Every structure is written in C-alpha cells, then in structure tokens.
Amino acid sequence: MSSPPTNQLRTALNEATPIEHVSQSIVRRTRSVAFWTAVTLPFLYLPLLATGLEKSSHVTAFLALLAANAVALLVGHSHLRE
C-alpha cells in the first residue's frame, strides 16, 4: 500500500483540529473567568474586614476567599497574553 497523497493528509489533519480549537476555547474561557474572579474577589474582603475578624467563621471565610483568590490568580495569570 502506498501512503495517502499530501492533500489527503492535510485534509485529515484539518478535520482533527476542531478538537484542539474546542480545547483551546475552553482553556481561554477558563483563564478569562479566573482572571475576572481574581479581580472581583477582593471586593468581598471589604465587608469581612469592616466587621472585624473576631469570629472564627469570619476568619475561615476570609482565608477561604484568600485561597480562592490565589487559585484564580494562578489560573488567570496568562489571560490575554496569548
């Protein structure tokens, strides 16, 4: 058997790329959501800091927001740098 001509090979490769486009689109959207989440999460710190961190539930909420913000910063760091 002979190998397929170059045009058929290119066609086969082009048919396989929509999966890559979908995955790139998902990654782009995830980075975008993470970026904007990292931007907006600090506004949720304000009520906690205004009322004080005397209760353990407030401290837990503050630390959870801080951890979520750190994760969002890591994931969304490369948003619009591509």
Is the pTM above the cut of 0.85?
A: no
Between helix 42-51 and helix 6-40 the angle, nearest 10°, is 20
The tens digit of pLDDT for each residue in 6-31 reads: 676 666 656 656 777 788 889 899 99
Under DSSP, the state recorded for 18 is H
Q: Where are the domains of the chain?
A: 6-76
On average, the pLDDT of the chain sits at 84
The tens digit of pLDDT for each residue in 39-77 reads: 999 999 999 999 988 999 999 999 999 999 999 999 999
Residue 79 to residue 34: CA distance in whole angstroms: 9
Residue 54 has phi, psi (to 5 degrees) of -80, -35
Which two three-digit tokens encode residue 82? 């591509």
